[in-house]
Amino acid sequence: MSDLVELYQELVLDHNNRPRNKRAMEDASSTADGYNPLCGDQVSVFLKVEDGVIADVSFQGVGCAISQSSASMMTQNVKGKTVEEAEALFEVFHGMVTRDPGAEVDSESLGELEALAGVCAFPNRIKCASLAWHTMAASLNGKQQEQVTTE
Ligand code: ZN
């Protein structure tokens, strides 16, 4: 178990140190800006949706390692999915980070996103981990330029 925890910590640090899809997108079909006032995390999400599929997704932001690595992992995990699949994955992810510590995790659906499962034990960190997902969902729902806060 401790090996697994270590692996997951490495994964989070790796995404923080080498964020994937961290860039602005000039031809995005929608964007949204998210802010977590508890920690000061900021994440902007850019989406290019074509025929109901997320053809491209990127983010920009500043904040703690959890918020930025979660944003990086979010982009990797929703790219190529349909809008419905991305929204469903958000539900599963949100359920994971807000569950009772010790409750089961839907590992099959989550894949490497399970690296953030431990934040459920740290209420202040849940908002860090879910910020990019809330912002992605707001952008999918056409709430362009809307300020998303996790409060
Ligand atoms: Zn944070």
**Could you tell me the CATH number of the domain that includes residue 30?**
3.90.1010.10
pLDDT in tens, 92-127: 999 999 999 889 999 999 999 999 998 988 888 999
pLDDT of residue 142: 78
* Residue at 82 is within a domain: yes
Q: How far is the CA of 118 from the centre of ligand 1 (A)?
A: 14
Decide if 85 is inside a domain: yes
pLDDT, one tens digit per residue, over 45-80 is 999 999 999 999 999 999 999 999 999 999 999 999
Average pLDDT for 11-27: 96
88 phi-psi bin (left φ>0, alpha ψ -120 to 50, beta other): alpha
Q: Is the pLDDT of residue 27 over 90?
A: yes
- Please check whether residue 150 lies inside any domain of the structure: no
Residue 37 included in any domain? yes
Is 119 a member of any domain?
yes
Distance 26 CA to ligand 1 centre (A): 27
**Cα 8 off chain centre by:** 15
Q: Is residue 79 part of a domain?
A: yes
pLDDT score at 29: 94
Does any domain span residue 110? yes
What is the pTM (predicted TM-score) of this model?
A: 0.91
pLDDT tens digits, one per residue of 130-151: 999 999 999 998 765 555 666 5
Say how many Å lie between the CA of residue 54 and the centre of ligand 1: 26
Among 78, 121, 117, residue whose Cα is nearest residue 94: 117
CA–centroid distance, residue 41 to ligand 1 (Å): 5
Structural domain span for residue 135: 2-143
Q: Is residue 121 part of a domain?
A: yes
Give me the pLDDT at residue 144, please.
59
CA contacts within 13 A on the Cβ side of 49: 21
Instruction: Please tell me the total count of domains within the chain.
Output: 1
Structure confidence at residue 85 as a pLDDT band (50, 70, 90): very high
Query: What's the CA-to-centroid distance between 50 and ligand 1, angstroms?
Result: 31
Q: How far is the CA of 67 from the centre of ligand 1 (A)?
A: 5
Measured between its terminal Cα atoms, the distance across the chain in Å is 33
